[in-house]
Amino acid sequence: MFLYRFWRALLHLIYPELCMGCGIVLFDQENLICSECLYHLPYTDFHLDPNNPVMQQVKGRADVEFGTSMLFLFPKTIVQNLIYNLKYKNHPKVGDRLGEMYGKILREEGVFAGVDVLVPIPLHPSRRAKRGYNQCEYICKGLSRGMDIPVDFKLLARRIHHKSQTRLSRMERAQNVVNIFECRHVDAISDQHILIVDDVFTTGATLCAAVECVKEAFPHCRVSILTIAKA
C-alpha cells in the first residue's frame, strides 16, 4: 500500500491529473472533477417536474413515458468543458462519473423505479472506430451502478452514418436522423420499460428517432429518455 501511494504521488507530480471542468490540478481525493466544479454544477431538477422542458419538447413527437436531463448546458461553462472532454478529448470516464452521480440521485428520488433496462444511443461503427468509444455507453455504465439497472448495449444500432448534428438547424437535425436506427434481437423484449440514454438534448431529434424505432419494434414497451445535459 505504501509503495502504491508513493508511486501514485510521484506520477501525480510528473503528470498531474486535471479537472475536466476547469483544468486545475486535482487533489489526491478528487476524481476527474474538482470539488469547486462539483459544487457549482447547474442541476436542472427536471426529474422532479413531469412537465419539464425535455417533456415539452418531445410532446407530440414521440411516445415517451418520461424524460429528463441532469445539467444545463451553456457556452463557456463547466458543463460544456465536461461534455467536450467526454466526447472529443478521449475522457469517457467523465460520462461514467456523471452517470453514476445522476443515477444515485434518481434512485434516491424513486425516479425510473420501474425501468427494466438502459439503452445507449449508438454511434455508427465508423464513428465509434474513429473516436475509440461510445460516450453514451460510459454514461450508461455509471447510471447502471447508481440505479442498479442493467444495460443492453446491443438493442439499438445505428445503420446509417450521417454528418454530425452540431451545426445543423432544427429542421436539418430532424431530417438527418430519419430511419438511422434499427433494433436487434427483437424477440428478447416484450413489454419492458426501456430508458434510452444520450449525452446532450438539443432539439430532441436523435432521441425521438430512437424512441420511434424502439416503439415500432416493441409496440408494447414503454420508453423513457435521459441525457446528461440540456442545451
**pTM (whole model) above 0.85:** yes
Residue range 133-156: mean pLDDT, rounded:
97
Please report the pLDDT score of residue 198 as a whole number: 98
CA proximity to 189, closest of 226, 158, 159, 150: 150
State the pLDDT confidence band at 178, using cuts at 50, 70 and 90: confident
Here the contacts of 190-193 (C-beta below 8 Å, separation 24 or greater) are 190/218, 190/220, 190/221, 191/218, 191/220, 191/221, 191/222, 192/116, 192/117, 192/218, 192/221, 192/222, 193/65, 193/114, 193/115, 193/116, 193/117, 193/221, 193/222, 193/223, 193/224
State the pLDDT confidence band at 185, using cuts at 50, 70 and 90: confident
CA proximity to 188, closest of 153, 162, 212, 158: 153
State the pLDDT confidence band at 89, using cuts at 50, 70 and 90: very high
Please report the pLDDT score of residue 188 as a whole number: 65
Q: Which residues contact 127 (CB under 8 A, 6 or more apart)?
A: 161
Please report the pLDDT score of residue 120 as a whole number: 98
CA proximity to 49, closest of 119, 111, 116: 111
Residue pointed to by grid coordinates 419492458 = 192
Please report the pLDDT score of residue 173 as a whole number: 55
Please report the pLDDT score of residue 162 as a whole number: 65
Worst-scoring range by mean pLDDT, 1-5, 55-59, 204-208?
1-5
Checking if the pLDDT of 7 tops 90, the result is no
Residues 41-65 pLDDT 10s: 999 999 999 999 999 999 999 999 9
Please report the pLDDT score of residue 15 as a whole number: 66
Distance CA 208, CA 165 (A): 14
Length of the chain (residues): 231
Residues 157-171 pLDDT 10s: 998 776 665 666 666
CA proximity to 227, closest of 107, 66, 92: 66
